[in-house]
Amino acid sequence: MRKKVGILGGTFNPPHIGHLIIANEVLHALKLDEVRLMPNANPPHKEIQNRVTARQRLTMVELSIKDVALLKLETIEIDQGGTSYTFDTMELLRYREPDSDFYFIIGGDQVEDLPEWYRIDELMQNVHLVGVPRPNKSLETAYPIITLPIPQIDLSSTTIRNRIANGETTQFLITDAVRDFIRKERLYET
């Protein structure tokens, strides 16, 4: 039987409860065997803010999922380095794991950008794209994606970084382990 693996990519700078809700909801809705959170090395569409290292982002993801058995860390893009294109990453994962079917999870903000994605038509033939709602974003697209109605939380890593910089609370928005790591490493302080 083929393994069903979800992939949730992002900068995870820092990872927050919204990421965990998305991963968990897709895991259960599609009856996946696991969902991997995959920090980007250098995403082509945005710059990684605040001089946080790849190692620190990996550690924060590890800490955020440490107590959730079916959520895993995927390091392939950090290991590869350079610009991270979804098509290239998924081709490498498919080569490494030929007995797995991959479900690449994207938010509504990414759905509208699909026409600009690198080798999108080939990607669509090789993986299942799963679109999840984001506040004020549409999941409508000409591409055949799986859409799931999951609980939405209007939260971003930018919001978390700003709150930390301003000395505001992040309780319930990030895990305690991630908050402790951020304090210890003095991340996002002004």
pLDDT of 50: 59
pLDDT of 45: 60
Neighbours of 102 (CB within 10 A): 20
What are the angstrom distances between the C-alpha of 122 and each of 11, 102, 108, 118, 182? 24, 14, 21, 9, 39
Task: Identify the residue with better confidence: 45 or 145.
Answer: 145
Sorted by where each starts, the structural domains of the chain and their CATH numbers stand as 3-185 (3.40.50.620)
Band the pLDDT of 41: cuts 50, 70, 90.
confident
Mean pLDDT, all residues of the chain: 92
pLDDT of 47: 59
Report strand pairing: 71-73 vs 128-132. unpaired
Per-residue pLDDT at 48 exceeds 90: no
What percentage of the chain exceeds 90 in pLDDT?
A: 79
Band the pLDDT of 43: cuts 50, 70, 90.
low
Band the pLDDT of 46: cuts 50, 70, 90.
low
pLDDT of 74: 98
Q: What is the DSSP string of 63-117?
A: HHHTT-TTEEE--HHHHH-SB--HHHHHHHHHHH-TTEEEEEEEEHHHHTTGGGS
pLDDT of 105: 97
Q: Which residue do the tokens 């809700």 mark?
A: 21
Is residue 44 a contact partner of residue 83, using CB atoms and an 8 Å limit? yes
Span 61-85, mean pLDDT? 94
Query: Tens digits of per-residue pLDDT, 93-120?
Result: 999 999 999 999 998 888 989 999 999 9
pLDDT of 19: 96
Span 21-34, mean pLDDT? 97
pLDDT of 5: 98
